[in-house]
Each structure stands twice: as structure tokens, then as C-alpha cells.
């Protein structure tokens, strides 16, 4: 049996609608996720990680539009992914967990009621069965006293507990693929580890596909199998986690990974490359990292596309990646 | 009721007491601040200086302010609002005669402005870029710049004089006449209050619309009317109610003007008559009633908001 990917994103383009211009913020983003697989996406703040997930969910903020690309989702176990409309997948195959659990849960709804309603939306469940299912879900995400917590409002729960509820809500839709937008960033390290374990368990038990966005390399190393590095609205490197994180090929990926303080070293300032990423309005066809790169030459000024993240293996968009790879590893 | 809500209700009720005291104080001091001497008004223009002093003594106006204050409060607690300087009629009777007109007028105004503002707000919040939303917004700007009495006159000349269906002023004797005589004044007040209400409700709605928790609900597949009912309105209603309460004072002021414009025998018209005739006790009593109404409206609004928002607690 061939194993199809669950989710395939092909050439995703997203633009900001302004009065006179429409700068492209996501430029040909492509990736695929299989069952029980976790794709990590890393990159500096503003590179388009959140917009990627929101575009896939069909939940772009007002004023931002998808201008191209296809999204394919496998809707039945074993089925090949088929084209889906962006406004039809939220809660029907795709679910999402957000960063800020405080702002992302409706303050006027009891968490149990919200989960039960979400269960019932799938149809065929009686009110009392949905309640029972909600209590089970709360228990399964590690909420103690789930019967009691059923009646709690979000503001009555701690941050870690709220994030567990958010995960239970997402799981209540019985998704095929779970999109996670920095779900542990707002939590302290202990809670962070617990939530990562919880997500990992859900993935294994349900055969979930998972896309996990983070700017934290350590978190990605823990949870992802494959990692894509984003820069200025493009995927510039992708590959198995150990390959990319230990032997980065793109100078930007290298800089990003170097900037992470080692686990036992002191937490120093972000030792990043000088300068900052270009604004979307300045995205051109040349390599977008060019101004900050120590390896630039005329080849970098030609057309440099992001890479298609759907293939297997370790690949980089850098025109010099072939020659640089060995040199970078040596330093 | 949760502990937080209970604390809120108790705390909010306790907050009313100093406001009530301040209102009473202002009402008593009003006499001192208003131009003219009530004793002279009562004694009449031909009274001698001694007679005026005599009247002032009889009225207790030569007593210290705090004593007047105490007496006033004592009378109020017994349901005694005093008597009119001009007619000698007990003020409770005057109020009883006229309060109905004002209450119905305010109710009508509120109904009109809510009926007009709700669709306008939904349109402007949910379809902000549509042509109709932009036209709606322009119309609101025009309306908000029209003085209520002028709107009243325009409505009267177009709807009443133009068609002859509605009375231009006055208050009929039978029920049907009275209902018809309330229509134009209610429209006038409602139109005056509507733009601000629509604008703020739209702002509150569109803020909720892009709130993270609404995105979460949509990510779970909630859409259409369930999204509006379960997640948008529940969260947008409390700010709208607070706003409505803040507008209560402006609405009352509007009622005073509109009653005068349309010759309705309500509390507002009485207030203007009493003020122009230096009928101090009536002015005092009506000021007190208007003040109490505003305090009560704000209290009710805050309690309603507390009921709708589970995060409520007393800070
Ligand atoms: N609501 C918005 N309106 C306008 N621009 C936005 C909005 N959200 C994001 N952007 C822009 O899109 C780009 C990508 O943003 P985002 O996906 O949030 O980045 P990340 O999640 O990687 O930090 C940024 O340049 C940001 O300024
Ligand atoms: Mg983000």
C-alpha cells in the first residue's frame, strides 16, 4: 500500500490588499504532511509562519487574501488527497491550536459546553453523549477533575490548562491534520514539555498529521520529523530534522540555528545576522537574504525561488548550497 | 451566582449611595445657585422687604444649608416632593400626571433607535467595504449633525403637514390620538440617538469579529448564524449596553427639547415651564427625578453586563 500524504500545499501565494499595491507575503509555499508525521516550520518573527497556517485553514485576517496555490486534503483514511476549498476545511479535517490560549478561547463560554457543541457539530451525537465525550476529551488532554472543569470559564483556568482545553477543542473535530501555531511559546518550560508530550501522544494515537510552527529550534527538535526553514515568505530549506538542524546548508538557516544558545550555556542575546528581513513590499525575485549574507555574489541576484517542500530529502534554496555545504560544515 | 459576580453586585450597589448623596446635595444647592430669590417670587412683586424676609423664614430658606438638606431628605423619604410655588399643587401629583408621557417617549425613542441602529451596525461591521455600508455611514454622519428640534420640525412638516396623518403637536384625549401623537416625537428622539449607537455597536462588533476567540470558533467549523449568535453577539452586547446607558443623559435632554417642540405634557416640558417661572420646588423635584433615572439606568446596565460577562468581578 502506498502511503499518501494527508495534506498537500502547492504553491501557496498570499497578498496583503492595499489601496494601490498588493505586496505578496507568501510566495509559492509548498509542503506535504503524512499520517503520524510532524512538519516543523521555523523562522524569524514576520517571515509568514502564521499566515501560512491561516491560509491553509481559510482563516486569513481581513485585508489579506490567498492569490494562488492549491490545498489538497485526504478526507478518508487511505484516500489520496483531493482539492479542497479553503472555507470548507476548518473543523472538517483540519483543526488548529493557537499561541495565546487566553485570547483564543471565547470568554463567555464554559469550556465543556464549547467542546460538547464542537462534538455535536459533526452530527449524529445526542446532547448527553456529546457531554460525556467532552468530559472524556478533557480527561484525555490531562485536565484533572474533568467533570468539575467542564463548567469552568476559560479565565478560571491556568495558562497550561487553557492550552489543554484548546487542544481538546481541536481534537473534538476529529481532525486528520492538526496545525499548531506556537502553542507552547506563552508557557514556561515545564508546561511546554508537558504540552509537547500531549501533542505527540495525540499524533501517535490518532495517526494525526501535524504542522508545528515555532521560532524555537529546541522545540522543533523535540517534536518534528521534518523541518522547513522560512525566510521572507518562502521556504528556503527543508529536510529531516537532524540533517537541517545539525548540517544547515542555507546561510540564513545556519545563522538562525547558530543563534540558539546551547542548552547548558548561558542564555545570551540573540546572536543573529546583522540587519533585518526585508518588508513584503521589497520582496523581489533575487535571493531575499542577499543583503545580510556573507556569501553573496552576482549569482544571488538572478531569480532565486523558494523550494518545493513536497519532495523528500534535504534541500536548500541557496544557489551556493552545493559549494557552501561542505564549507559551512567545516567552520 | 459566582463569588465574583456577587462581589460585583454588592460593590456596585454600595457605589450608588455616595452618588445619591451627591445628587441630593446638588438638588438642594440648586436653590442657592439659581438666579432669583424664591422667597421674592412667592411673596410677589409688590411685597415689602419685611414680607420677603417673613416668607423666607416660613420656607426655612434662612436656615443653614445642611439643615435644609436634612429637611429635604426627610420629606423625600416620606414621599413628599413639596408643592409648586405657582399653583400650590403637590409636586407628586404633577409628576404623576406627566411622567407617563416622558416614559413612553423615551421608550419609543429607544425602540426607534435600536430598530434602526441594529441593522446599520450589522451591515457596517459584517460588510464594511460594501457600497450600502458606506452609504449607511454617510447617512449617519448627516443625521448626527442635525439638531433634534430641527429634525422634529422637518418630520412634522413632511410627515404630518404633508400627509395629514399625524398630529403636529399636542396630546390627544383618547388612546389612539395619544399613540399617534407619540410617533413623531419618538422618531425625532430615536433618530437623534441612533447614529452614535449604530457607530459604537458597529465598532464593538467588528472588534469582536477579528478577535482571536472568533478565529478559534471559525477554525472549529462554526460559521453563519451560530457564529453570530453564540460568539459574536454574546461578546459585543455588553459594550453596546454600557454605551446605551451612557447615552441615557443625552436621551433625557433630547426628551426635554422634543416635548417642548411637539407640545407634549411631559416632565421635560414641565421643567422648562417651571424654570421660566422660577418655580423652584418643581425644578428641584424634576432635577432629582431625572438624576435618579440616570443613576438607575446606569445601575441596571452594569448589572446586565455583569450577568452577560462571566469574567465580571469587583475591582
Ligand atoms: N493582519 C495583518 N495585516 C497586515 N499585515 C500582516 C497581518 N498579519 C501579518 N502581516 C504581515 O505578514 C507577514 C507575515 O506575518 P506572520 O505570518 O504573522 O509572521 P510570523 O507568524 O512568521 O511571525 C509580516 O510581514 C506581517 O507584517
Ligand atoms: Mg506568528
Instruction: Report ipTM (2 d.p.).
Output: 0.90
A322 pLDDT higher than 60:
yes
pLDDT band for A269, please (50, 70, 90 cuts).
Answer: very low
> What is the average pLDDT score of chain B?
86
Interchain CB contact of B103 with A (< 8 Å)? no
Give the SS3 label for residue B112. helix
CA distance A98 to A154: 14
**Ligand 1 centroid – CA B243 distance (Å):** 33
pLDDT of residue A327: 53
Task: Go through chain A and tell me how many residues it has.
Answer: 331
pLDDT of residue A119: 95
Cα–Cα distance, B182 to B185 (Å, whole number):
5
Give B262 or B163, the one with higher predicted confidence: B262
Long-range contacts of the stretch A311-314 (C-beta < 8 A, 24+): A313/A239, A314/A237, A314/A238, A314/A239, A314/A240, A314/A243, A314/A244, A314/A247, A314/A249
Q: Is residue A61 within 6 Å of ligand 1 at its C-beta?
A: yes
What is the distance between the alpha carbons of residues A199 and A330, in angstroms, rounded to a whole number?
36
Q: Which residues of chain A are within 8 Å of residue B234 when distances are taken between CB atoms? A: 106, 108-109
Q: In terms of C-beta distances under 8 Å and separation of at least 24 residues, what long-range contacts does B80-83 make, across chains too?
A: B81/B281, B81/B285, B81/B288, B82/B281, B82/B284, B82/B285, B83/B281
Among B10, B24, B59, CA closest to B299:
B10
- Check pocket membership of A54 for ligand 1, CB cut-off 6 A: no
From B212, B219, B231, residue closest to A95, measured CB to CB = B219
CA separation for the pair B89, B85 (Å, rounded)? 8
Residue B156 has pLDDT above 60, yes or no: yes
Q: Taking Cα atoms as reference points, which of A157, A171, A159, A81 lies closest to residue A119?
A: A171
Among B215, B234, B310, beta carbon nearest to A59: B215
Q: pTM for the whole thing?
A: 0.82
- Residue in chain B nearest A54 by alpha carbon: B219
Of residues A183, A190, A182, A177, the one with CA closest to residue A164: A183
Q: Is B63 exposed, middle or buried (0-12, 13-18, 19+ CB in 10 A)?
A: middle
pLDDT at residue A162, as a whole number: 95
B220 with A95: Cβ contact below 8 A: yes
Tell me the torsion sign for CA atoms A297, A302, A307, A312. negative
Phi-psi region of A176 (alpha: psi -120 to 50; beta: other; left: phi over 0): alpha
Sheet of strand A64-73, all strands in order from the earlier edge strand to the far edge: A82-83, A64-73, A5-16, A24-34, A308-309
User: Of the segments A248-262, B86-100, B151-165, which one has the largest average pLDDT value?
Assistant: B86-100
- Could you give the angle at the alpha carbon of A85 between the alpha carbons of A84 and A90, nearest 5°? 90
More confident residue, B248 or B200: B200
| C-alpha cell at position B306 | 455583569
Residue B66, pLDDT score: 79
Burial B24-54 (b: 16+ CB within 10 A, else e): beebbeebeeeeebbbbbbbeeebeeeebee
Q: Are A187 and A220 in contact (CB under 8 A)?
A: no
Q: 505527540: which residue's cell?
A: A200
Contacts of A107 in chain B (CB under 8 A): 213, 235, 309-311
Number of H helices, E strands in chain A: 10, 12
Average pLDDT over residues A141-158: 95
Q: Is the pLDDT of residue A270 over 60?
A: no
Which of the ligands is closest to the CA of residue A41?
1
Q: Cα A58 to the chain's mean position, in Å?
A: 14
**How far out from the chain centre does Cα A236 lie?**
15
Which H helix or E strand runs over A60? Answer: none
d(CA B85, CA B90): 10
Measured between CA atoms, the residue of chain B closest to residue A92 is: B221
For residues A208 and B41, give the distance between their C-alpha atoms in angstroms, rounded to a whole number. Answer: 87
Q: Does the pLDDT at position A32 exceed 80?
A: yes
Position A68 scores a pLDDT of 93
Contacts of A153 in chain B (CB under 8 A): 310-311
Going by alpha carbons, the residue nearest to atom 24 of ligand 1 is: A46
**How many helices and strands in chain B, by DSSP H and E?**
14, 0
Residues whose CB is less than 8 angstroms from the CB of residue A17 and which lie 6 or more positions away in sequence, other chains included = A63, A64, A65
Tell me whether B308 touches chain A (CB under 8 Å). Answer: yes
Task: Name the band, by pLDDT with cuts 50, 70 and 90, for residue B152.
Answer: confident
- Residues of chain B neighbouring A64 (CB-CB closer than 8 A): none
**Residue of chain B whose Cα is closest to the Cα of A104:** B213
Q: Which three cell numbers stand for residue B27?
A: 438638588
> CB-CB: which of B219, B222, B311 is closest to A107?
B311
Cell of A89: 476545511
* Dihedral sign computed on CA atoms, order B51, B56, B59, B63: negative
Contact (CB<8Å) B310/A117: no
- Nearest-CB residue to A91 (from B211, B214, B221): B221
Under an 8 A CB cutoff, do A103 and B212 touch?
yes
**Cα separation, A292 vs A305, whole angstroms:** 17
Cβ atoms B85, B42 nearer than 8 A = yes
Q: Give strand ranges (E) for A223-301.
A: 226-231, 234-240
Q: Residues of A at the B interface (Cβ-Cβ below 8 Å)?
A: 57, 59, 61-62, 90-92, 95-96, 98, 100, 103-109, 117-118, 121, 153, 155, 166, 169-170, 172-173
* CA separation for the pair B117, B229 (Å, rounded): 18
Nearest to B20 by CA among B247, B249, B296: B296
Comparing A48-57, A218-227, B43-52, B121-130, the range with the smallest average pLDDT is B43-52
For the residues A109-129, what does the mean pLDDT come to? Answer: 93
* Alpha carbon nearest to ligand 1 atom 5, residue: A16
pLDDT bucket at B65, cuts 50 / 70 / 90: confident
Are B298 and B276 within 8 A, CB to CB?
A: no
CA distance A211 to A133: 26
Answer whether residue A122 shows pLDDT above 90: no
Give the ligand 1 atom nearest the CA of A62. 1
Residue given cell 448564524 in the structure block: B225
- Residues whose CB is less than 8 angstroms from the CB of residue A13 and which lie 6 or more positions away in sequence, other chains included: A24, A26, A27, A28, A29, A66, A67, A68, A69
DSSP character string of B153-175: HHHIIIIIITTS-S-SSS--SSH
For residue B102, pLDDT beyond 60: yes
Strand pairing of A38-42 and A226-231? parallel
* CA A45 / ligand 2 centre spacing (Å): 6
Chain-centroid distance of CA B148 in Å reads: 14
Amino acid at each position: 500500500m502506498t502511503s499518501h500524504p494527508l495534506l498537500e500545499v502547492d504553491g501557496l501565494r498570499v497578498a496583503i490588499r492595499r489601496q494601490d499595491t498588493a505586496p505578496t507575503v507568501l510566495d509559492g509555499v509548498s509542503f506535504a504532511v503524512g499520517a503520524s508525521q510532524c512538519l516543523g516550520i521555523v523562522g524569524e518573527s514576520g517571515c509568514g509562519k502564521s499566515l501560512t497556517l491561516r491560509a491553509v485553514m481559510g482563516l486569513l485576517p481581513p485585508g489579506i487574501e490567498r492569490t494562488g496555490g492549491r490545498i489538497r486534503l485526504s478526507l478518508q483514511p487511505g484516500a489520496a488527497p483531493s482539492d479542497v476549498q479553503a472555507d470548507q476545511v476548518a473543523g472538517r479535517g483540519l483543526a488548529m491550536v493557537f499561541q495565546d490560549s487566553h485570547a483564543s478561547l471565547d470568554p463567555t463560554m464554559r469550556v465543556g459546553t464549547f467542546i460538547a457543541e464542537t462534538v455535536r457539530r459533526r452530527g449524529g451525537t445526542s446532547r448527553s453523549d456529546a457531554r460525556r465525550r467532552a468530559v472524556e476529551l478533557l480527561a484525555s488532554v490531562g485536565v484533572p477533575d474533568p467533570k468539575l472543569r467542564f463548567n469552568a470559564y476559560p479565565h478560571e483556568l491556568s495558562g497550561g490548562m487553557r492550552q489543554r482545553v484548546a487542544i481538546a477543542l481541536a481534537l473534538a473535530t476529529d481532525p486528520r491534520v492538526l496545525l499548531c501555531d506556537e502553542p507552547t511559546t506563552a508557557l514556561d518550560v515545564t508546561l511546554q514539555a508537558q504540552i509537547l508530550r500531549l501533542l505527540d501522544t495525540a499524533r501517535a494515537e490518532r495517526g494525526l498529521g501535524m504542522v508545528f510552527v515555532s521560532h524555537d529550534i529546541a522545540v522543533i527538535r523535540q517534536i518534528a520529523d521534518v523541518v522547513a526553514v522560512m525566510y521572507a515568505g518562502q521556504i528556503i530549506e527543508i529536510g529531516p530534522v537532524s540533517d537541517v538542524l545539525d548540517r544547515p546548508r542555507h546561510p540564513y538557516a545556519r545563522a538562525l540555528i547558530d543563534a540558539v544558545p546551547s542548552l547548558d550555556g548561558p542564555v545570551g542575546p540573540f546572536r543573529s545576522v546583522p540587519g533585518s528581513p526585508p518588508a513584503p513590499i521589497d520582496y523581489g525575485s533575487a535571493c531575499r537574504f542577499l543583503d545580510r549574507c556573507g556569501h553573496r555574489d552576482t549569482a544571488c541576484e538572478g531569480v532565486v525561488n523558494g523550494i518545493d517542500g513536497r519532495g523528500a530529502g534535504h534541500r536548500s534554496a541557496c544557489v551556493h548550497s552545493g559549494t557552501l555545504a561542505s564549507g559551512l560544515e567545516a567552520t | 451566582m459566582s463569588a465574583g459576580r456577587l462581589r460585583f453586585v454588592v460593590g456596585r450597589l454600595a457605589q450608588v449611595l455616595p452618588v445619591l448623596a451627591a445628587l441630593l446635595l446638588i438638588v438642594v444647592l440648586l436653590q442657592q445657585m439659581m438666579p432669583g430669590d424664591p422667597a421674592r417670587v412667592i411673596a410677589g412683586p409688590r411685597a415689602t422687604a419685611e414680607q420677603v424676609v417673613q416668607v423666607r423664614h416660613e420656607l426655612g430658606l434662612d436656615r443653614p444649608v445642611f439643615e435644609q438638606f436634612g429637611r429635604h431628605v426627610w420629606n423625600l423619604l416620606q414621599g413628599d416632593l413639596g408643592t409648586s410655588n405657582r399653583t400650590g399643587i403637590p409636586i407628586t401629583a404633577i409628576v404623576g400626571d406627566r411622567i407617563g408621557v416622558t416614559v413612553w417617549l423615551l421608550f419609543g425613542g429607544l425602540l426607534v433607535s435600536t430598530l434602526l441602529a441594529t441593522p446599520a451596525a450589522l451591515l457596517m461591521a459584517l460588510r464594511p467595504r460594501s457600497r450600502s455600508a458606506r452609504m449607511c455611514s454617510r447617512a449617519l454622519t448627516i443625521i448626527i449633525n442635525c439638531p433634534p428640534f430641527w429634525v422634529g420640525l422637518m418630520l412634522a412638516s413632511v410627515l404630518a403637514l404633508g400627509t395629514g396623518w399625524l398630529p403636529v403637536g399636542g396630546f390627544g384625549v383618547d388612546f389612539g390620538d395619544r399613540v399617534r401623537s407619540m410617533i413623531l416625537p419618538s422618531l425625532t428622539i430615536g433618530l437623534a440617538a441612533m447614529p452614535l449607537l449604530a457607530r459604537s455597536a458597529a465598532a464593538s462588533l467588528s472588534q469582536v469579529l477579528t478577535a482571536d476567540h472568533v478565529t478559534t470558533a471559525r477554525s472549529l467549523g462554526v460559521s453563519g448564524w451560530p457564529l453570530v449568535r453564540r460568539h459574536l453577539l454574546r461578546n459585543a452586547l455588553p459594550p453596546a449596553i454600557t454605551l446605551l446607558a451612557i447615552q441615557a443623559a443625552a436621551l433625557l435632554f433630547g426628551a426635554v427639547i422634543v416635548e417642548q417642540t411637539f407640545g407634549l405634557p411631559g416632565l421635560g416640558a414641565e421643567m422648562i415651564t417651571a424654570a421660566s417661572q422660577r418655580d423652584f420646588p418643581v425644578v428641584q423635584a424634576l432635577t432629582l427625578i431625572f438624576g435618579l433615572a440616570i443613576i438607575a439606568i446606569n445601575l441596571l446596565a452594569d448589572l446586565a453586563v455583569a450577568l452577560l460577562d462571566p469574567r465580571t468581578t469587583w475591582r
